[in-house]
Amino acid sequence: MAHPDLGNAPTPARALPAWLEDGRRWIEAELERVLPGPDEPPARLHQAMRYALLGGGKRLRPALVRLVARELGGRDEAALAPALALELVHTYSLVHDDLPAMDDDELRRGRPTVHVAFDEATAILVGDGLLTAAFERLAEEPAPRAAEHARVLARAAGSRGMVGGQALDLALEVTSGAPLSALEDMHRRKTAALFAAAAEMGAIAAGVEGARRRACAAYGLALGLLFQAVDDLLDVTGDAATLGKTPGKDAALERPTLVAALGLAGARARAAELAEEVRGRARELGFGPASPLHELSDFVLERPS
């Protein structure tokens, strides 16, 4: 497949595949229930947590847990807690990354960021509360799986994973001309680690262990790297209405991105390469072109936002 033409006008979106839309609906009904109600004290904090969590989003990580679990013969019920936990962790990371001391973003998913809509202290606490809620939800699962899922999630999300990736991103910001290896190490931690955890938790939910479980994690990692590569491309080629966030910001801030490192054509080629790796990993798992796990590479590559 040719890589997409991400020009100045956003690429028309393919119809969101049914399995992804279905996954989104499945998790959104549950997200509504996972947090304390908006009137429960401290009401303002809980309202802000709900604002952050329920404000839209593709819900790609929860859908991935469920897809992997299903493709491996697992039940949706077993995928639910890790799917919720992943979305809670992903959302907390957005809230903290958007803070003035971090990326200083005012727009997210088309709405004011939490520190703009509420205030900075509340945004810090919203992130802390969402992260804690993620592990609370996992701990409510049957015991052996609860600990297994928590181990995978904590490693992916912690200082060696996602949190470390954000630290590297902030450090690279002031380093002009970061080498590609440093950039992709940052992407691996900041974005791909959580995708890897999603796929691995899907395997755990399906009772799959050993080499096959590790192959799922490798699939998720490749998918996450692809997702981040496309994110870097979209910052250059997308528009605010489609993205729901401020485009062109990475370039304006001279942030380290694939586009900065490789140029637009080089970044597109790298994304196509990563998409091929995702398809290869899917085939390794025994999932051919008819499987959503195979098709996901196209979806991520062609996503409009």
* Residues engaged in binding a copy of itself (CB under 8 A): 35-36, 40-42, 44-46, 49, 92-93, 96, 99, 101-102, 119-122, 124-125, 127-129, 131-133, 135-136, 138-141, 143-144, 146-148, 150-151, 154-155, 157-160, 163-164, 166-168, 170-171
Give ∠ CA 50-51-52 in degrees, rounded to 5.
90
If the CB atoms of residues 57 and 164 are measured against a copy of itself, the closer one turns out to be 164
Yes or no: say if 205 and 69 are a contact pair by the CB < 8 Å rule.
yes
User: Residue 108 forms beta bridges with which residues?
Assistant: 111
CB of 38 to a copy of itself, least distance (A): 12
Yes or no: say if 98 and 123 are a contact pair by the CB < 8 Å rule.
yes
Q: Identify whether 42 is preceded by a cis peptide bond (ω within 30 of 0).
A: yes
CB of 116 to a copy of itself, least distance (A): 13
Dihedral of CA 227/229/232/233: which sign?
A: negative
If the CB atoms of residues 165 and 292 are measured against a copy of itself, the closer one turns out to be 165
CB of 90 to a copy of itself, least distance (A): 13
CB of 70 to a copy of itself, least distance (A): 25
For residue 201, give both structure tokens. Answer: 């938790």
If the CB atoms of residues 3 and 190 are measured against a copy of itself, the closer one turns out to be 190
Nearest to 192 by CA among 180, 203, 183, 179: 183
CB of 66 to a copy of itself, least distance (A): 22
Element of type H or E holding 107? strand 107-108
Query: Does residue 241 sit in helix, strand or coil?
Result: helix
For residue 6, give both structure tokens. Answer: 């991400």
Query: Does residue 112 sit in helix, strand or coil?
Result: strand
Element of type H or E holding 59? none
Yes or no: say if 4 and 27 are a contact pair by the CB < 8 Å rule.
no
If the CB atoms of residues 95 and 208 are measured against a copy of itself, the closer one turns out to be 95
CB of 19 to a copy of itself, least distance (A): 30
If the CB atoms of residues 122 and 305 are measured against a copy of itself, the closer one turns out to be 122
For residue 141, give both structure tokens. Answer: 């699962």
Question: Phi then psi for 12, rounded to 5 degrees?
Answer: -60, 135
CB of 160 to a copy of itself, least distance (A): 6
